[in-house]
Amino acid sequence: MAEREKPKLLRVQIVDKNGEPIGMKTIREDQLHDDGPRRPLTPELRKRAEELYPRAKQMYRVTLEKWIEGFEQDHNPDRELDIWDRLIRLSNKLWEHAASRPYRRSQVDQAILAASVNAVDIPARTGVSDEFVVLLKKMYAELKTQ
């Protein structure tokens, strides 16, 4: 008997027109969209995005143009770049941890990305263990305080 295809679910933060959080909601991944207006990045933010891109593209397969465009649509691109910096540092740190040995780098990165958007059932989506997800969330929380 074939396994039932489950929709990929995400917990997303709802923001008002000023980018302020007003709540959380669970949606299917295919319902996710960002139709906000694009605002050009400052030269400093663009440089920072371009510096993060080589490593980020290994985690999140996207062209440089789409990478920049995503930040131009963001309400707070500086904060989003901070998050990506932490995700990249987490990936590097976690990859050096013994708990990563059973997994491919792409699995580790996909688990990190799934956790960063509050995805539901990360082990089923990425093939990592529940214990690994607990570890990566702990390590991410530690990086947030640094």
Confidence of residue 84 (pLDDT cuts 50, 70, 90): very high
Question: Strand, coil or helix: what is 116?
Answer: helix
Residue 26 lies in a domain: no
Residue 127 lies in a domain: yes
Q: What number of other Cβ atoms are within 10 A of residue 33's Cβ?
A: 7
Confidence of residue 118 (pLDDT cuts 50, 70, 90): confident
Query: Among 74, 82, 83, which residue's Cα sits nearest to residue 38?
Result: 74
Query: Per-residue DSSP letters for 70-91?
Result: HHHH-S-HHHHHHHHHHHHHHH
Residue 81 lies in a domain: yes
Confidence of residue 75 (pLDDT cuts 50, 70, 90): confident
Residue 107 lies in a domain: yes
Residue 27 lies in a domain: no
Task: Name which residue leads in pLDDT, 77 or 146.
Answer: 77
- Give the chain's domain count: 1
Residue 63 structural domain? 41-144
Residue 49 lies in a domain: yes
Residue 69 lies in a domain: yes
Residue 17 lies in a domain: no
Task: Name which residue leads in pLDDT, 146 or 65.
Answer: 65
Residue 110 to residues 23, 116, 133, 138, Cα–Cα distance (Å): 25, 10, 11, 16
pLDDT over 70 at 53, yes or no: yes
